[in-house]
């Protein structure tokens, strides 16, 4: 009997996971809460499997990522999304290769302007103090700003200047609390953690449910509130938890957010234990394996 090719069963796809983790206070235990003594070891073991592609997604630049991997004995990732989403690197044998295709995507927002040309738009604004050269790159202008400055007026002046020259930029404001100073990044509009993760997923030909993101703080919120399966580690601050829940309600994505608690695992849900708890929750293909390795997660 001749069989219709359409009825051929599709070959089973091997379970795969693109595990995208923020660094500070997500896989790096540099917050106030305690880390379980076995958490990083289990996390590293889990990430060593060939089916798991580990990606660090961070505000840090390349050198600071390498330093954290060394200082905290973290597993080496296969990709790193650094500088708040403005750079994507493929890492092979600890060699970092810039993903030029991502540069090509985000540079459209700069409308042909160089870093220097955009910086020149703001040179007369005395409230802006450029950050160190290591914190600048082709697609990232970073400034220190006093917390006493009228933030709304400053941002609106800058937004007007970039608009006048056809540049589409995000102005990202954050606070360095220990140093008591404002941080202002001017980035291409599409150079965010969320866009960078989705770009990498598509480049690798993966489906959205083959991705898990983990984060803890404000600059992770766009991903935590998106349709990408995401886990908020248990050590996150209460206001971030509330903001993430609000965002998922607004976006209709509440099923894509998991709040780690430590209740579903043999660990406390903080840092990398929370990341693994999220994997247990979202990815049945890896749940059984994590149960067998002692990281139980009854759902
Ligand atoms: Mg963080």
Spans of all domains in the chain: 17-86+191-292, 111-188
Instruction: Measure 58 CA to ligand 1 centroid, in angstroms.
Output: 7
Asked, colleague to colleague, whether 17-86+191-292 and 111-188 share their fold, the answer is: no
Residue-level pLDDT at 205: 95
Distance CA 29, CA 275 (A): 12
CA 162 – ligand 1 centroid, Å: 29
Question: What is the DSSP secondary structure assignment for residue 137, as one 8-state letter?
Answer: B
Distance 9 CA to ligand 1 centre (A): 43
Q: How confident is the model at residue 2 (pLDDT cuts 50, 70, 90)?
A: very low
| Stretch 19-32: mean pLDDT | 95
CA distance readout (Å), 130 to 58, 151, 172, 184, 288 = 20, 16, 14, 9, 50
What is the CATH number assigned to the segment(s) 111-188?
3.90.1070.10
Q: According to the model, what pLDDT value does residue 294 have?
A: 76
Please give the average per-residue pLDDT across 157-178, as a whole number: 91
CA distance between the termini of the chain: 46
CA of 146 to the centre of ligand 1 (A): 23
Give the range among 135-139, 143-147, 295-299 with minimum mean pLDDT. 295-299
DSSP state for residue 204 in the 8-state scheme: T
Ligand 1 midpoint to CA 152 (Å):
25
Query: Does 24 score more than 80 pLDDT?
Result: yes
What is the Å distance from ligand 1's center to 8 Cα? Answer: 46
Which residues are 144's β-sheet partners? Answer: 129, 183
Beta strands in the chain (DSSP E): 17-21, 52-57, 79-82, 87-92, 95-98, 129-130, 141-145, 169-176, 181-188, 211-215, 230-232, 257-259
Residue 96 alpha carbon to ligand 1 centre in Å: 22
Q: What's the pLDDT score for residue 8?
A: 53
pLDDT tens-place string over residues 60-75:
999 999 999 999 999 9
Domain covering 17-86+191-292, topology: Rossmann fold (3.40.50)
Q: Distance between CA atoms of 148 and 37, rounded to whole angstroms?
A: 42
The whole-model pTM stands at 0.88
The answer to whether the CB of 236 falls within 8 A of the CB of 217 is: yes
Mean pLDDT of 175-204: 91
What is the reported pLDDT for 264?
74
Which pLDDT does position 10 carry in this prediction? Answer: 54
Rounded to the nearest integer, the mean pLDDT of the chain is 92
Mean per-residue pLDDT, 23-31: 95
Q: Looking at the predicted structure, is the pLDDT value of residue 25 above 80?
A: yes
């Amino acid at each position: 009997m001749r069989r219709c090719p359409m009825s051929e069963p599709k070959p089973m796809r091997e379970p795969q996971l693109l595990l995208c983790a923020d660094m500070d206070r997500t896989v790096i235990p540099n917050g106030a809460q305690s880390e379980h003594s076995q958490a990083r070891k289990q996390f590293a073991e889990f990430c060593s499997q060939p089916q798991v592609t580990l990606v660090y997604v961070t505000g840090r630049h390349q050198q600071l990522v390498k330093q954290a991997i060394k200082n905290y004995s973290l597993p080496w990732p296969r990709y790193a999304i650094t500088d708040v989403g403005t750079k994507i690197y493929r890492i092979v044998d600890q060699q970092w290769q810039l993903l030029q295709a991502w540069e090509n995507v985000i540079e459209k927002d700069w409308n042909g302007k160089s870093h220097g040309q955009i910086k020149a738009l703001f040179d007369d604004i005395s409230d802006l103090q450029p950050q160190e050269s290591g914190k600048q790159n082709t697609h990232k202008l970073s400034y220190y700003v006093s917390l006493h400055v009228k933030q709304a007026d400053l941002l609106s002046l800058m937004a007007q200047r970039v608009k006048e020259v056809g540049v589409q930029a995000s102005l990202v404001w954050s606070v360095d609390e220990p140093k008591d100073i404002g941080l202002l990044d001017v980035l291409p509009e599409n150079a965010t953690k969320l866009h960078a993760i989705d770009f990498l997923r598509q480049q690798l030909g993966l489906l959205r449910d083959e991705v898990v993101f983990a984060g803890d703080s404000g600059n992770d919120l766009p991903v935590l509130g998106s349709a990408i399966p995401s886990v908020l580690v248990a050590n996150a601050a209460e206001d971030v938890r509330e903001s993430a829940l609000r965002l998922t309600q607004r976006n209709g994505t509440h099923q894509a957010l998991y709040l780690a608690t430590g209740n579903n695992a043999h660990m406390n849900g903080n840092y990398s234990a929370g990341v693994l708890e999220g994997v247990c929750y979202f990815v049945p293909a890896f749940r059984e394996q994590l149960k067998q390795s002692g990281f139980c997660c009854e759902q």
